[in-house]
Amino acid sequence: MAILSSSPLLWSHFPKPVSRKLTLFTITLIFKPKKLNSIVMAAAQTTTPAKVVPAVIVGGRRVGKALQDMGKGDDLLVKRGETVPLDFEGPILVCTRNDDLEAVLEATPKSQWNDLVFFQNGMLEPWLQSKGLNDADQVLAYFAVSKLGEPPVDGKTETNPEGLTAAYGKWASSIATRLHAGGLSCKVLDKEAFQKQMLKKLIWICAFMLVGARHPGATVGIVEKEYRSEVSSLIAELAAAAAAEKGIIFEEAMEDRLCAYSRAVTHFPTAVKEFKWRNGWFYSISEKAIAKGKPDPCPLHTAWLKELKVV
């Protein structure tokens, strides 16, 4: 505890003759007696945790249930076939499969579309733009929920110990507060920074799932450990294609960072799924280049998709 006195200091000036022509002024401090008024200060300030904003949560599976558990009991869970209430004010957290997004929009009043927060993996940009949702809120969820009702595990790595989960948009700060309440990390990013992070996660999903699919039964951990050369080559190829397509520059050591994340989720199974939203975006880049008589910018990716008869 620290005590600060409020007693005033009075400054007085008294002239002292030195000669007929010079006078020296001295300064004397006089403490005016006054009853001590004390201000008691706490040794450490306590901060009130930010309030978790109530939300509509669309989708009651693992992620949706985990987000609901992070709230204060005043969230509204909307299940398949149900509509978002017109009078609700707050974020609408969309935790469904990508292929259910059309149905989610149909069940949401258009006046509330700007409150939608998309938690889906993959390349959502073309679909969002087709719906006029160019600046839609999005979350890159780098946390895993093994089973319904179990607490999520943060995907922190040795290269990113601060965590990788990121949010962008109108409700980004509210989402970060909710995730922090659940013991998870979350960064709030601007659109350009978020797009880079989104593309890196897309590259991770597409590369590790495709390489794993070539080796039946391989988990993400097995791909990282036993097929590192294959996945490294594919990461480099997809990163170059994404950078050229979007006109951006990725920082160095992307492969190391993506492999570090893989070591945090070694148990994940691998499979090429949701092609339209994932590998399909890179395949469309290849198709455009070939149609213009240019070389395929992703020859390895295309060859392995054909090998697995995905295309």
Instruction: State how far the Cα of 139 lies from the Cα of 282, in Å rounded to an integer.
Output: 21
For residue range 182-191, list pLDDT tens digits in order. 999 999 999 9
Name which residue leads in pLDDT, 208 or 31.
208
> Residue 56 pairs with which residues in a beta bridge?
76, 92
pLDDT score for 10:
35
Average pLDDT, integer, range 161-181: 97
Record the pTM: 0.82
pLDDT at 2 over 60: no
pLDDT score for 78:
96
Q: How sure is the predictor about 81, in pLDDT bands with cuts at 50, 70 and 90?
A: confident
pLDDT score for 49:
67
Q: How sure is the predictor about 72, in pLDDT bands with cuts at 50, 70 and 90?
A: very high
Which of these ranges, 24-28, 96-100, 176-180, has the smallest mean pLDDT?
24-28
For residue range 99-118, list pLDDT tens digits in order. 999 999 999 999 999 999 99
For residue range 243-255, list pLDDT tens digits in order. 999 999 999 999 9
Tell me the pLDDT of the chain averaged across its residues: 87
pLDDT at 6 over 70: no
Average pLDDT, integer, range 38-61: 68
pLDDT at 31 over 70: no
